[in-house]
Amino acid sequence: MAEVRLYSTPSCPYCRMAKDFLEEEGVEFTVVDVSEDENAAQEMVDKSGQMGVPVMELESVIIVGFDRGAYHKALVDTGVLSDTAAGAE
């Protein structure tokens, strides 16, 4: 199964929404706190071209910000979720 990484900070409300969505969908993911890890923050910028969070990384897919539909599509396209999962409302 594809590894899901979520670059975030503790104070970001959209990061909390992204985490909640992934948890609700039963997706296993790794949280990378870029406020505590300067190298991870630079890695996120290198991959996304952005300094904003959240950033979800899923195989070669990078999604900046939280967009329920985009997250759901990427998770289905990579086989992490089945096409019948409820996230794309």
pLDDT (tens digit per residue) in 42-70: 999 999 999 999 999 998 899 999 999 99
Which position has the token pair 């990484």?
5
The DSSP bridge pattern shows strands 4-8 and 30-33 to be: parallel
Q: Which residue has the higher pLDDT, 88 or 43?
A: 43
CATH 3.40.718.10 fits 4-77, yes or no: no
Which two structure tokens, joined as six digits, stand for 40?
A: 């991870």
Q: Where are the domains of the chain?
A: 4-77
User: What b-and-e string marks burial along 51-83, b requiring 16 or more CB atoms within 10 Å of the CB?
Assistant: eebbbbbbeebbbbbbeeeebbbbbbebebbee
pLDDT (tens digit per residue) in 1-47: 689 999 999 999 999 999 999 999 999 999 999 999 999 999 999 99
Query: pTM of the predicted model, to two decimals?
Result: 0.89
